[in-house]
A and B are shown apart, each in its own frame.
Chain A
Amino acid sequence: MSILSVEHLESQFVTEDGIVKAVDDVSFDIEENETLGLVGESGCGKTVLALSILRLLSENTKTSGIIKYRGRDLLQLEEDDLMAIRGKEIAQIFQNPLSSLNPVLTVGFQISEPFMRHQGLKRNAAKIKAVEMLERVRIPSPEERAKEYPHEFSGGMRQRAMIAMGLACKPSLIIADEPTRGLDVTIQAQVVELIKELIKDSGASMLIITHDLSLAAELCDKIAVMYSGEILEYAGIQDFFRKPAHPYSECFLESLPARGMKPIRGISPSLINPPPGCRFCPRCDHARDECKTTHPRLMKVKDGQYARCHLYA
């Protein structure tokens, strides 16, 4: 059974210029022990999607659809019930740890918080656990480091502290939003190795949100490609990197410096009034007349691979 099943999820913001459909009819499943990579470029809606799962968006967002975690719809839960799931069963590792960590609390205290809240540990016992977590994410001299504040940590160490906090209560699902953004390559390599090892040890499922295809290639089992609020392709990791089905996936891969650095012409459409047909159509080399007028459904390409493209009708 899927651990997380998202059906027809929509998230909209009301702005002065009109309604922004940041997430538009998105459905996907994550199985036990599986890592799904949600990839896309800036503004495609991937972070909004991640935040809507644990209902972390602000009040002015309208979210509809079904988000089933182990059979319970998270969108229908009372706030108290949801609090019991957040951080305990589903953990979120945010991008930009400097703004996600509280600057006036020690790192050790922040990591010990979930232990106190969800496991009912006393402060001292929770502190010992926090030091253990810091050690697990390989922060040198964890006992002293636990007493320091976030600004005393380097970028790589802050990211590790965020990971330690996320993993504290052994969650069964981890949502990681750009876990390596802003880190130098050698530090990024350290963090990726760490995440790999921790997923293997804990057996948790994971949703990784990233713009970095190489990070996805390294960590994920399946890939969902997002563009302009929609999922355009859904595929196993091997199929996606060997033979992407959607023209956008293909262009996205070819624009990587290591794969020819071929530019995609034009820019992503506005999320306020997206084109009526296929949203990638104005930039697509395969575009036909029907692409301009008819919005494509997600079509099956082969077992386990789907693309939102008229080519596969």
Chain B
Amino acid sequence: MLEVHDLKKTFTTGIINKKSVNAVDKISFSIQEGESFGLVGESGCGKTTVGRLVLRLIEPTGGEVLFNGIDIFLLDQKELRKIRPQMQIIFQDPESSLHPRMRIGDIIAEPLKLHNIVPKEERQRMVRELIEMVGLNPEHANRYPHELSGGQSQRVMLARVLSLSPKLIVADEPTSSLDVSVQAQILSLLKRAQSECHFSCLFISHDLNLIRNMTGRMGVMYLGRMVEMGKTSDIFDAAMHPYTQALLSAIPVADPNAKKSRIILEGEMPNPLNPPKGCGFHPRCRYKERICETSEPKMIDVGDGHLVSCHFHARRHET
């Protein structure tokens, strides 16, 4: 359904002393039809940039994104517009994504109008159905965004996205600003919609508990690179990359008796303007060897589609 090859995005900063940041560096992954793929990583790792590149909301520096076999970076504006209804995004901050002066009903009807999904007469009926589908009251159609709570706003976003029956939804931290009880409401709604409408989902989050609940396969990003990728259950059961291991061990557990052998990472993520040579993770890695400081590890397949980019595993796998 979606194939991403060697995706790359470089941002430049500064006017005189131009510096460049490789926000996304040679990322490849694919998503099957109806599948949920999770992208996890800490702030600044480039996961949001990947989400935007996949929809070509920003232009890439290199690589390709094949959507049902079509390279979306080769399309012109007109062709892109035609394909847009099939690929949609849900943003992190629903309140700032809704137009403050439009009524909810009009906000939901807008994409239907733009892409001419249904004839004018049927639009109102469809809006009513969508409102009901995402668990809002019919009276909400006449309200303005500021009258809604965060959870309700995210329901409106979902209604808007679902109105186009997309094939792919990029959900970028869709619940990071919501309370847990509301988060659970929105995500179970998303899950239900997916089982009814069979869209694929790129689920971007920093929260590993959510990735575990929402996705079948996942990728872990660090400093713009993919460090590990595979089935979500495989990664949770047997993480290979030292960064993934530390990330998993840091998951907060709501149980006072949980026995934890936490791997506390020293320091913080390096400045992407000045990334370390070799493996990006080596300054914080427990298993660091000399080779890690000089040469960049390759992605290797350790079996069953489980990929890891680490010298330690590469060597063990060869022998």
A residues sitting closer than 8 Å to B (CB atoms) are 41-42, 140, 154, 156-157, 184-190, 192-193, 211-218, 237-238, 241, 251-253, 255-259, 261-265, 267
Contact = CB atoms under 8 A, between A and B. Distances in A.
Nearest to A216: B254
A255 B180 contact: yes
A263 B185 contact: yes
B222 to A, nearest CB: 10
Given A154-B268, A257-B207, A258-B209, A188 B180 contact: no
A192 B253 CA distance: 12
Nearest to B179: A41
Residues of A contacting B: mostly = helix
Interface residues of B, number: 38
A188 to B, nearest CB: 7
A256 B180 contact: yes
Given A140-B267, A185-B206, 4 more contacts: A186-B42, A186-B246, A186-B264, A217-B253
10 contacts: A184-B43, A186-B264, A189-B264, A241-B257, A258-B251, A262-B184, A263-B184, A263-B188, A264-B184, A267-B182
Contacts of A265: 185
Most buried by B among A215, A237, A261: A261
B149 interface: yes
B204 to A, nearest CB: 14
A251 B181 CA distance: 8
B72 interface: no
Contacts of B305: none
A264 B187 CA distance: 12
B252 A188 contact: yes
Contacts of B181: 41, 251-252, 255, 263-264
A252 B180 contact: yes
Contact of A241 (B187, B246, B250, B256): B256
Contact of B265 (A190, A237, A259, A263): A190
Most buried by A among B42, B181, B207, B209: B181
A304 B100 CA distance: 48
Contact of A185 (B42, B182, B183): B42
Contact of B180 (A140, A211, A241): A211
